[in-house]
């Protein structure tokens, strides 16, 4: 038994905790949710990628030399243990930390002392050849942003809408560098702008699906309309999109108001532009929702009309077949004194009468649109 325990201890990886940095080390290799961590001074990236502890030290050194600097730490789906050290180092509120770790939050912007906590729902359009009753049209994720006087911490949940390209664009583009020189609130604006721009792209792609289902509802398919399963699935996806974008409008408007002292006044006008774009997306999504409601009602009306037409046809044919049934039933009673009962031509006369009456009824129903 002792030999077995010795072998287990030999193969078990050695795991140790680094000093309050929010990540572990496994066999000397960093294992963490930190995607990128850097310090920016006067709008330029200062040094290479570093740990959160080193970033805090560099920011502190920048303040001592009088240079304006802040750190930007990017995390992807951190656990509570991984995020604990970073939260303690930057003084993040426990409620906001809990929201950032567990996700599934409503879009919002909250203030905790001198820290802004923003939650964005990210949206990705899922490619599909044909819309089916089980098609996933939009995929949602979450992006949380902590903005302090000298730091930005982003926490991303989901496998899409990476911030790597955004960070690179801000670092390399001359205009982006100017924005970075405005501090952490400029990064918050850039993130909000990218998220809302993705909303616009998804809304444009979703328009094609709505147009397709609208065409199917009113296409000539025997009055049966479109498959209600496809229609309802698209409505569910639109509702998911709506829940992601609608609650964000008021927070974006608040960030553009002068009373928001945690946002650079020169950046607030950019948030107004983001709020305008977001309002356009919300109007478009509301229009999708209303149109799909109308299409559901139209599809239901088409089904009802088709069922009424079927019932009229069934009723008309039942009336036609009732005539020979009634006449043959009367003659089947075998009374002695019945018309043409003993006549040589009685049988063909009765059959001919039945046929003529049925033909007359058929033409009458056809003329009235029942057949």
What is the per-residue pLDDT for 28?
Answer: 33
pLDDT of residue 74 exceeding 90, the answer is: yes
| Phi and psi torsions of 177, nearest 5° | -60, -35
Check residues 23 and 236 and name the one with the higher pLDDT.
236
Tell me the C-alpha distance between 19 and 85, whole Å: 8
Of 174, 194, 188, nearest to 70 by C-alpha is: 188
Task: Flag whether pLDDT at 227 surpasses 70.
Answer: yes
* Domains assigned to the chain: 16-303 (3.30.460.20), 305-367 (1.20.58.340)
pLDDT at 175: 59
Query: SS3 for 323?
Result: helix
Computed over every residue of the chain, the mean pLDDT equals 81
Task: Find where tokens 């996700």 sit.
Answer: 103
Q: Extract the tokens encoding 15.
A: 């795991």
125-139, 215-229, 251-265: which has the minimum mean pLDDT?
Answer: 215-229
Query: What are the tens digits of pLDDT across the range 146-200?
Result: 999 889 999 999 888 889 899 888 888 765 557 788 889 889 999 999 999 999 9
Q: What is the DSSP letter of 246?
A: G
Angle at the Cα of 173 from the Cα atoms of 172 and 175, rounded to 5 degrees? 140
User: How does pLDDT run across 302-360, given as a tens digit for each residue?
Assistant: 777 777 777 888 888 888 888 888 877 777 776 666 666 666 677 777 788 888 888 88
Q: Give yes or no for residue 11 having a pLDDT over 70.
A: no
What's the predicted TM-score (pTM) here? 0.75
């Amino acid at each position: 038994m002792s030999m077995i325990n010795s072998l287990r201890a030999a193969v078990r990886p050695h795991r140790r905790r680094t000093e309050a940095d929010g990540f572990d080390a496994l066999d000397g290799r960093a294992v963490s949710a930190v995607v990128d961590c850097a310090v920016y001074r006067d709008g330029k990236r200062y040094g290479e990628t570093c740990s959160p502890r080193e970033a805090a030290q560099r920011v502190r050194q920048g303040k001592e030399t009088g240079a304006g600097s802040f750190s930007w730490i990017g995390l992807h789906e951190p656990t509570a243990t991984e995020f604990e050290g970073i939260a303690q180092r930057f003084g993040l509120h426990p409620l906001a930390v809990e929201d950032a770790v567990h996700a599934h939050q409503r879009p919002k912007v909250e203030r905790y002392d001198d820290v802004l906590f923003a939650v964005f729902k990210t949206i990705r359009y899922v490619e599909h050849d044909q819309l089916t009753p089980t098609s996933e049209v939009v995929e949602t994720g979450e992006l949380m942003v902590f903005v302090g006087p000298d730091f930005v911490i982003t926490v991303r949940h989901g496998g899409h809408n990476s911030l790597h390209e955004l960070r690179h664009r801000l670092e390399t583009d001359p205009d982006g560098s100017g924005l970075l020189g405005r501090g952490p609130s400029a990064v918050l604006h850039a993130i909000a702008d990218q998220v809302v721009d993705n909303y616009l792209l998804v809304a444009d792609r979703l328009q094609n699906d709505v147009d397709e289902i609208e065409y199917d509802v009113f296409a000539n398919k025997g009055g049966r309309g479109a498959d209600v399963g496809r229609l309802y699935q698209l409505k569910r996806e639109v509702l998911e999109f709506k829940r992601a974008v609608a609650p964000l409008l008021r927070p974006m408007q608040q960030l553009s108001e002068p009373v928001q002292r945690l946002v650079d006044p020169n950046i607030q006008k950019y948030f107004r532009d983001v709020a305008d774009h977001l309002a356009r997306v919300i109007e478009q999504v509301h229009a999708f929702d209303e149109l799909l409601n109308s299409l559901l009602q139209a599809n239901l009306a088409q089904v009802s009309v088709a069922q009424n037409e079927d019932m009229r046809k069934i009723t008309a044919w039942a009336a036609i077949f009732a005539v020979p049934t009634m006449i043959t039933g009367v003659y089947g009673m075998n009374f002695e004194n019945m018309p043409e009962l003993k006549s040589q031509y009685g049988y063909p006369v009765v059959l001919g009468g039945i046929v003529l009456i049925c033909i007359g009824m058929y033409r009458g129903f056809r003329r009235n649109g029942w057949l």
